[in-house]
Amino acid sequence: MNKERFEIVEDPIPVDEVIQKVVHPNAGAVNVFIGTVREMTNGKRTIYLKYEAYIPMAIKQFRVIEAEILKRWPEVRLAITHRIGELHITDTAVVIACSSPHRAASFEACRYAIERIKEIVPIWKKEHWVNGECWVGDQKEQHAYPNGEPEKEGL
Partner 1 sequence: MIKILLFAGLKDRVGKSFITLENGPMTVSELKKELEKVSGLENLTNVMVAVNETYADGDVVVRAGDTVALIPPVSGG
Which residues contact partner 1 (rule: CB under 8 A)? 35, 51-54, 56-58, 60, 82, 93-94, 114, 117-126, 135-139, 141, 145, 147-150, 152, 155
Instruction: Give whichever of 4 and 52 is closer to partner 1, judged by the CB atom.
Output: 52
Instruction: Give whichever of 4 and 141 is closer to partner 1, judged by the CB atom.
Output: 141
| DSSP-assigned letters across all residues of 20-76 | HTT--TT--EEEEEEEE--SEETTEEEEEEEEEE-HHHHHHHHHHHHHHHHHHSTT-
Q: How far is the CB of 29 from partner 1 (least distance, A)?
A: 22
Q: How far is the CB of 13 from partner 1 (least distance, A)?
A: 13
Instruction: Give whichever of 16 and 151 is closer to partner 1, judged by the CB atom.
Output: 151
Q: How far is the CB of 56 from partner 1 (least distance, A)?
A: 5
* 3-class SS of residue 77: strand
Q: How far is the CB of 61 from partner 1 (least distance, A)?
A: 9
Instruction: Give whichever of 32 and 120 is closer to partner 1, judged by the CB atom.
Output: 120
CA 65 to chain centre: 12
Q: How far is CA 47 from CA 118, 131, 141, 146, 148, in A?
A: 22, 10, 18, 17, 20
Instruction: Give whichever of 22 and 58 is closer to partner 1, judged by the CB atom.
Output: 58
Radius of gyration of the chain (CA): 16
Q: How far apart are CA 76 and CA 140, in angstroms?
A: 25
Q: How far is the CB of 139 from partner 1 (least distance, A)?
A: 6
